[in-house]
Amino acid sequence: MRSAPVLGVRALASVVMAYALLAGCAEAAGPVAPDRAARPSGTSAHDARPAKDPTPRAQPYRRWGLTAPLPAPPSPPTRRPASRAGGALPVVDRVPTRDQVVFLTYDDGAEKDPRFVDMVRELRLPVSMFLTDSVVGPGYGHFARLRSVGASIQNHTLDHAALRGLPYAGQRAEICGQQNKLRARFGIRPQLFRPPYGTYDATTLRAAADCGIAAVVLWRAAMEGDGELTYAKGPDRLRAGDIVSVPSGEPTGLSLRERTTRLLREIQGRGLTVGRLEDYV
């Protein structure tokens, strides 16, 4: 009659011993590894790795000769400061704006460097290309690529003739003729027109308006072939709202890319950035 209690005690002892062994194994496993203890729930070991060095973001700017990214331009104005007023065709060389922006415009279309397309794409430059048909020649494909990376295409006449003093029919042929060429090439009718050499008269304005142009665009500053900025009027420094002309096909001097780099350095040095002209005119 005493054998049953003895078996019960032995069974209880076995249970206690098994529990002790399990507890010892848990302690032997040691504390949770520090990296796992610090990792938030729901993340993987890959997520917990340190972030990569952010400096590669600046590589495109260094590749084009800049030491820092250009500041992002402000949001476009709700109303274009240089828009048509009272039916008159506006003529602008700078935009009346407090936004700290200048506008980059390129004339003629003589230079067709594929690396300039890369530059516009990587730096996200909102440039405006004023094209002359006789200068572009068979090279419209280059400007289609520029347009695909954000450049706008505008009118600079068929043959780069000095318009002032020409009869209405001749001026209209130069302006409307290029409107038609650009529509055939790109499916667009440009809104902006730059007269060759910056010369025009009342007949130019009438012909341009009749060809569907919304504004005549001149410039206050120009980046010449030697990389120097010249100013048409006002102070000899870039100011907010300035329109800058960069001619192409200069016989000597710096390439279009090199002049653009110098221009961007000057823009940064003045605390400015590049805006999209079509948002303001």
Three-point CA angle 171, 177, 180, nearest 5°: 145
My answer on whether 14 and 79 are in the same domain is no
Q: Which residue has the higher pLDDT, 102 or 35?
A: 102
Q: How far apart are CA 94 and CA 223, in angstroms?
A: 15
Is residue 213 within 8 A of residue 154, CB to CB? The reply is no
My answer on whether 130 and 241 are in the same domain is yes
Lowest mean pLDDT among 41-50, 93-102, 195-204, 236-245: 41-50
The answer to whether residue 42 scores a pLDDT higher than 60 is no
My answer on whether 258 and 125 are in the same domain is yes
CATH of the domain at 190: 3.20.20.370
pLDDT at 206: 97
Quick check: is 255 in a domain? yes
My answer on whether 71 and 32 are in the same domain is no
Give per-residue pLDDT as tens, 22-41.
444 444 444 444 343 344 44
My answer on whether 96 and 14 are in the same domain is no
pLDDT at 249: 78
The answer to whether residue 133 scores a pLDDT higher than 70 is yes
Quick check: is 51 in a domain? no
Is residue 217 within 8 A of residue 193, CB to CB? The reply is yes
My answer on whether 29 and 75 are in the same domain is no
Quick check: is 43 in a domain? no
Nearest 10 degrees: Cα torsion 185, 181, 121, 230: 170
Beta strands 221-223 and 192-193 are unpaired
Give per-residue pLDDT as tens, 143-194.
999 999 999 999 999 999 999 999 999 999 999 999 999 999 999 999 999 9
Q: For residue 244, give the 3-state DSSP assignment.
A: strand
The H or E element containing residue 206 is helix 202-210
pLDDT at 137: 95
My answer on whether 34 and 140 are in the same domain is no
The answer to whether residue 70 scores a pLDDT higher than 70 is yes
Length of the chain: 281
My answer on whether 97 and 228 are in the same domain is yes
Mean pLDDT of the chain: 83
| Number of domains into which the chain is organized | 2
pLDDT at 56: 52
My answer on whether 25 and 65 are in the same domain is no
Lowest mean pLDDT among 79-88, 105-114, 183-192, 243-252: 79-88
Quick check: is 44 in a domain? no
Quick check: is 50 in a domain? no
My answer on whether 7 and 146 are in the same domain is no
Cβ-count burial 34-50 (b if 16+ within 10 Å, e if not): eeeeeeeeeeeeeeeee
pLDDT at 125: 97
pLDDT at 11: 45
Which residues is 94 bridged to in the sheet?
Answer: 242
- Residue range(s) defining the domain that contains residue 27: 3-38
My answer on whether 106 and 241 are in the same domain is yes
Three-point CA angle 121, 124, 129, nearest 5°: 80
My answer on whether 20 and 65 are in the same domain is no
The answer to whether residue 100 scores a pLDDT higher than 50 is yes
Confidence of residue 116 (pLDDT cuts 50, 70, 90): very high
